[in-house]
């Protein structure tokens, strides 16, 4: 049984920008040589989250629209009174989505559906450089 920790660097535009990290994750998993186990994706920081979607242009509009309804960018947030950084909505959205996702793999491949990609969603209100932790555990 082995543990391999990798990092995936992602540049985002913020504002619920959605980035597909599946190809890079697949390469890092193959490089690890581990055949069976689970990959945990985790985003360090409290204004972004990880999930899976079908990565196609329509959903890149629909998913941000759903988050805008859930926690509008321009609403009042007590967080903004604390820090004055104006990204209360980003924190609320990230807390709801969650910072981690665990994907099982077998034969060196993640057991994703054909139309299912692992994505980072950056809820911050400005462009960011993100680093997603990808931890591979297995044998």
By CB under 8 A, residue 83 contacts a copy of itself: yes
Q: What is the DSSP letter of 1?
A: -
Q: Which of 8, 91, 123, 124 binds a copy of itself (CB under 8 A)?
A: 91
How buried is 52 (Cβ within 10 angstroms: 0-12 exposed, 13-18 middle, 19+ buried)? middle
Token couple for 67 = 């988050």
By CB under 8 A, residue 74 contacts a copy of itself: no
By CB under 8 A, residue 5 contacts a copy of itself: yes
Count of residues that bind a copy of itself according to CB under 8 A: 59
Q: Which of 33, 100, 109, 127 binds a copy of itself (CB under 8 A)?
A: 100
Kindly tell me which of 58 and 127 has the beta carbon lying closer to a copy of itself: 58
Q: Which of 33, 98, 109, 127 binds a copy of itself (CB under 8 A)?
A: 98
**Angle ∠(21,52,92) on CA atoms, nearest 5:** 100
Is residue 125 a contact partner of residue 15, using CB atoms and an 8 Å limit?
yes
């Amino acid at each position: 049984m082995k543990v391999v920790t990798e990092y995936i660097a992602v540049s985002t535009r913020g504002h619920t920008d959605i980035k597909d990290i599946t190809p890079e994750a697949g390469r890092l998993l193959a490089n690890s040589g581990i055949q069976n186990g689970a990959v945990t994706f985790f985003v360090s920081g409290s204004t972004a989250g990880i999930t899976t979607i079908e990565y196609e242009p329509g959903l890149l509009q629909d998913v941000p629209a759903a988050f805008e309804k859930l926690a509008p960018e321009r609403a009042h947030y007590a967080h903004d009174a604390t820090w004055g950084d104006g990204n209360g909505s980003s924190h609320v959205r990230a807390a709801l989505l969650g910072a981690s996702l665990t994907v099982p793999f077998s034969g060196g491949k993640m057991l994703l559906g054909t139309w299912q990609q692992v994505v980072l969603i950056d809820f911050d209100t400005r462009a960011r450089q993100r680093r997603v932790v990808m931890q591979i555990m297995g044998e």
